[in-house]
């Protein structure tokens, strides 16, 4: 293998991370032209092709070391390398380069900002914030943040806009409250009506279920007793009405029992 005619590269002039001189491993180097790792044979870079220049019909290599069928030869092929440093010196330079790279890194840990915790359930408002209250809160927040343009006697255009919006909402807020109150009353009436209809439907379904599953002989009157007759009567009695049960009258005559 003939060299490419260039001046040999000095190992001492190269960056230590571009060489591999570890014992027990094949010596490799980074090609100065294509920046790919190549093996060294007789202190020369093995011939290779430029990546991405092989033709479309290039056949794959049949065995290790087989030359590719096409492609442009890299100018860095057969480049001579002169090793003017020992393995120990190369190791020391590699360690120094690693320590320098580690020293450039900041030791300060930059953590992501912690999001604000969500409010507790007891702190959440069950009623939505009114538009006039939201406008007032926005105006106060702007006056607090804009301290350079907003003063006690002067307000910036943004503050004037927020103040005008708050004044307009304050004038129309009573009408909105009245409309919301009317809507709430209508919704409550609809809910009560739906609940009553559901209760009546449930009672009718239970009644049909009882008639379909209860034996007639189980509810028959026994010896014509009024208590049994009342117990067997399946009726709902509204609260506060007089009971339909009529038992025997209280005896008014004196009862004398002879000993």
Segments of the chain assigned E as strands: 9-10, 19-20, 28-30, 37-41, 44-45, 81-82
Q: Check residue 47 and give its pLDDT.
A: 87
Quick check: is 3 in a domain? no
Q: Are 77 and 46 in contact (CB under 8 A)?
A: yes
Question: In this structure, are 86 and 144 located in the same domain?
Answer: no
Quick check: is 1 in a domain? no
Percent of the chain with pLDDT over 70: 71
Q: Is 248 a residue whose pLDDT tops 70?
A: no
Q: Check residue 104 and give its pLDDT.
A: 59
Q: Is 113 a residue whose pLDDT tops 50?
A: yes
Question: In this structure, are 89 and 140 located in the same domain?
Answer: no
Please provide the distance, in angstroms rounded to a whole number, between the alpha carbons at the two ends of the chain.
149
C-alpha 35/C-alpha 12 separation (Å) is 18
pLDDT, tens digit, for every residue of 17-61?
Answer: 889 988 888 899 999 888 889 998 888 998 888 876 665 555 566
Question: In this structure, are 13 and 93 located in the same domain?
Answer: yes
Quick check: is 175 in a domain? yes
Of 104, 100, 35, 40, the C-alpha closest to 74 is: 35
Quick check: is 253 in a domain? no
C-alpha 211/C-alpha 203 separation (Å) is 12
- How crowded is residue 77: how many other Cβ atoms within 10 Å of its Cβ? 20
Q: Check residue 256 and give its pLDDT.
A: 75
Q: Check residue 175 and give its pLDDT.
A: 87
C-alpha 132/C-alpha 167 separation (Å) is 8
Q: How many domains does the chain have?
A: 2
pLDDT, tens digit, for every residue of 139-197?
Answer: 888 888 887 777 777 788 888 888 888 888 888 888 888 988 999 999 999 999 999 99
Quick check: is 236 in a domain? no
Q: Is 223 a residue whose pLDDT tops 50?
A: no
Length of the chain: 259
Q: Which domain holds residue 28?
A: 9-53+68-97
Of 77, 34, 76, the C-alpha closest to 52 is: 34
pLDDT, tens digit, for every residue of 115-128?
Answer: 888 878 777 766 66
Helix/strand/coil for 114: coil
Q: Check residue 103 and give its pLDDT.
A: 55
C-alpha 108/C-alpha 18 separation (Å) is 30
Q: What is the 3-state secondary structure (H, E, C) of 45-78?
A: ECCCECCCCCCCCCCCCCCCCCCCCCCCECCCCC
Structural domain ending residue among the three candidates 189, 211, 233 = 211
Give CA separation, 214 vs 35, 124, 211, 221, 232, in Å.
94, 52, 6, 15, 12
Q: How much is the pTM?
A: 0.35
Quick check: is 221 in a domain? no
Type and span of the H or E element at 234: none
Question: In this structure, are 192 and 135 located in the same domain?
Answer: yes
């Amino acid at each position: 293998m003939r060299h490419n005619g260039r001046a040999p590269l000095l190992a001492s002039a190269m960056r230590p991370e571009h060489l591999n001189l570890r014992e027990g491993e094949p010596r490799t180097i980074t090609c100065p032209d294509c920046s790919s790792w190549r093996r060294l044979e007789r202190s020369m870079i093995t011939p290779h092709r430029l990546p991405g220049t092989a033709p479309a019909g290039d056949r794959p290599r049949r065995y290790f070391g087989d030359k590719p069928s096409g492609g442009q030869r890299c100018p860095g092929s057969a480049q001579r390398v002169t090793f003017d440093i020992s393995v120990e010196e190369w190791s020391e330079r590699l360690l120094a380069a690693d320590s320098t790279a580690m020293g450039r890194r900041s030791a300060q840990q930059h953590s992501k900002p912690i999001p604000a915790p969500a409010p507790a359930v007891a702190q959440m408002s069950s009623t939505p914030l009114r538009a006039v209250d939201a406008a007032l809160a926005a105006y106060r927040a702007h006056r607090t943040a804009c301290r350079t343009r907003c003063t006690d006697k002067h307000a910036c255009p943004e503050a004037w806009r927020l103040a005008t919006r708050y004044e307009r909402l304050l004038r129309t807020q009573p009408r909105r409250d009245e409309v919301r109150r009317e809507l709430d009353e209508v919704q409550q009436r609809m809910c009560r009506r739906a609940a009553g209809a559901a209760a009546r439907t449930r009672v009718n379904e239970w009644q049909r279920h009882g008639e379909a599953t209860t034996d007639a002989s189980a509810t028959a009157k026994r010896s014509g007793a009024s208590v049994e007759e009342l117990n067997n009567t399946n009726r709902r009695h509204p609260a506060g009405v007089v009971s339909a049960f009529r038992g025997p009258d209280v005896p008014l005559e004196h009862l004398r029992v002879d000993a």
